[in-house]
Structure formats: C-alpha cells, structure tokens
C-alpha cells in the first residue's frame, strides 16, 4: 500500500550524542507524532500527506526503533526525556503532541512533566492505565521471534504463524539488508519497552492540563469506553472521539483520522 507516503527523513543529534532519525514534512505549525511499540516515525507518512503544508509533522523513530541510534534504557523516563530533548533541539515548542498506543503514554507524560513544551495533545487509543487491570494482554510475548528472513513475504509469514493476522504495521519497520529482510528493532528489547510501559499513569494524565483529543477505537481492547469516559471526567479540556476501527486508527480510517486531527488543531490554534 502506498498510502501517499513521503520520504522527507532527517537526522538530529541529541545532547548525549545519539542521533535521532525522524520524518519532517510540511512547513506550518509543528505537530510531533509518536509511534507505538514496534513502529517508526514513517507510520505517520499518510497523516503528513493528508494534513498538507499547513502542518509540519515531525515524527521521530523513538529509542529502540527505526533508524535512530541504539539505546539500552527503555524506561518511561528515558522515552519522555528523548521527546523533550527532541522538541528543544528543534526549537519548535510549544507543540501539538500526538501519540499512538505507548507513544500516547509518552505524549501525555511529556505534557505533564514538561508543560512548557506542549500546547495540545492528541492521544490515539491508549488509556491512563495500561496494565493487566485493564488490558488483557499488555505485553505481547515476542521472545524468540524471527529477526530476519530471505524475503519480505517470508518475514510476514513468520509473523502470521505467531498469531499476527495482519503484519502490515510490523513490516513498516522491515528493511532489506545483505540479501535478507530484517526488522529495525530487536524483539527482546521490545519486551523491555512493553514491560516498562505497563502501569497506572493517572498522575501524569491529570497533571497535563492542555487541550486534549482522546481517540478511542471500538474494536480495540486498549481503551475501553468506561476508561475513556473516566479520563475525560477526571481531566477538564478532554474531548473523546470514537472510531469503529481497530487499534491502528491512523491505518484503518486514515481520512477520518486526519480530519479529526486537523479539526482539533484548527480549534486549538484559533
């Protein structure tokens, strides 16, 4: 699927010397977009295309993912610090900050801990609680999963054999190298990322006070309706919008997703 993909990639060096690869598309108001586990900044290429030049989409490959330099700390604090440094290094704050899944947790944690950097939030299908008290399987067990295969199709088949009915999202992070196809992440590291992301983050959610759009997918287990309602009740300025899709709203309904984001950005900037 082409999905109107863009290839405007850039590299930024953080103060600690690590290089962050990121999508940089558009020339308008900045929107920093954070992918979920197993993803990369390029998952937001379609969004960048649909929003057009009026919005500058900045979508980093977060630590452990994509083409960014390797990392060995996958704590919540490390992810949050990276995003804060990314915004500061580009000198674009305060920004609208969008996050999908675990990237959504990072987004509202950045807003809570670095409020001067965030003007508005868009949270895609993740809650203030991400552990087993709400989510049946908060950690996908990927230990021993294949690191490479002779072809992209073989890599896809290996994931299907492990219970992933549609591996499209994972394959966005697959590249050809030395006659093999491999992922731009390490399965064992992704276990650490997931475990560190499972928890109750109410204190961060309620501490962030900027306008927020909370997107819920009805066919996903990660943000049940009662939790979404409680999040809106406990945090003024939160709007909940529901999509009849799976967890990846930006893929399942890209037009509706882009429209919702654009309308929200128009509202908070107007």
Q: What is the pLDDT of residue 125?
A: 99
Q: What is the DSSP letter of 53?
A: G
Cis amide bond preceding 94, omega within 30 = yes
**Separation between Cα atoms, residue 120 and residue 127, nearest integer Å:** 17
**What CA dihedral angle connects 184, 163, 105 and 198, to 10 degrees?**
-110
The number of beta carbons lying within 10 Å of the beta carbon of residue 212 is: 26
Write down the pLDDT at residue 71. Answer: 94
Instruction: List the beta bridge partners of residue 174.
Output: 183
The two beta strands, 95-100 and 118-124, are parallel
List the chain domain ranges. 9-136+186-269, 148-185
Three-state DSSP class for 73?
coil
Using an 8 Å Cβ cutoff, are 118 and 144 in contact? no
**237 exposure class (CB count in 10 Å sphere: 0-12, 13-18, 19+):** middle
The backbone torsions φ and ψ at residue 91, rounded to the nearest 5 degrees and listed phi first, read 55, 50
Annotation: CATH topology of 9-136+186-269: Rossmann fold (3.40.50)
Q: In the chain, which residues have pLDDT < 50?
A: 1-7
Give the per-residue pLDDT at 208. Answer: 93
Separation in Å, CA 101 to CA 9, 147, 152, 165, 224: 22, 23, 25, 19, 13
CA 113, 118, 121, 126 dihedral sign is negative
Distance CA 247, CA 257 (A): 12
pLDDT on residue 175: 95
Of the candidates 230, 205, 237, 220, the one whose C-alpha atom is nearest the C-alpha of residue 36 is 220
pLDDT digits (tens, 9 = 90+) for 129-182: 999 999 988 999 998 899 899 999 999 999 999 999 999 999 999 999 999 999
Question: Quick one: DSSP state of residue 131?
Answer: S
d(CA 121, CA 108): 7
Q: Among candidates 48, 52, 141, which has minimal Cα distance to 98?
A: 48
Q: Is the peptide bond before 157 cis (omega within 30 degrees of 0)?
A: no
Question: Among residues 226, 270, 268, which one has the least CA distance to residue 111?
Answer: 268
From 101, 97, 109, 96, select the one nearest 39 (Cα to Cα): 101
């Amino acid at each position: 699927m082409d999905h109107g993909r863009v290839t405007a990639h850039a590299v930024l060096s953080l103060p600690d010397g690590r290089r962050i690869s990121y999508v940089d598309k558009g020339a308008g108001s900045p929107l920093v977009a954070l992918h979920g586990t197993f993803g990369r900044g390029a998952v937001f290429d379609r969004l960048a295309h649909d929003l057009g030049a009026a919005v500058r989409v900045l979508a980093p490959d977060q630590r452990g993912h994509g083409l960014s330099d390797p990392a060995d700390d996958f704590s919540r604090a490390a992810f949050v610090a990276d995003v804060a440094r990314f915004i500061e290094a580009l000198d674009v704050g305060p920004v609208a900050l969008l996050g999908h899944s675990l990237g959504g947790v990072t987004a509202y944690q950045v807003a809570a801990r670095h409020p001067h950097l965030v003007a508005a939030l868009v949270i895609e299908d993740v809650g203030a609680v991400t552990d087993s008290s709400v989510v049946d399987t908060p950690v996908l067990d990927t230990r021993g999963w294949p690191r490479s295969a002779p072809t992209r199709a073989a890599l896809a088949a290996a994931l299907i054999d492990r219970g992933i009915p549609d591996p499209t999202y994972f394959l966005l992070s697959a590249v050809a190298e030395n006659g093999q196809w491999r992922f731009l992440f390490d399965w064992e590291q992704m276990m650490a990322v997931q475990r560190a992301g499972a928890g109750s983050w109410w204190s961060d959610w309620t501490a962030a006070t900027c306008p927020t759009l909370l997107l819920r997918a009805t066919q996903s287990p990660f943000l049940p309706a009662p939790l979404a309602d409680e999040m809106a009740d406990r945090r003024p300025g939160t709007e909940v919008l529901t999509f009849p899709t799976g967890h990846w709203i930006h893929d399942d309904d890209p037009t509706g997703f882009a429209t919702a984001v654009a309308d929200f950005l128009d509202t908070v900037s107007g």
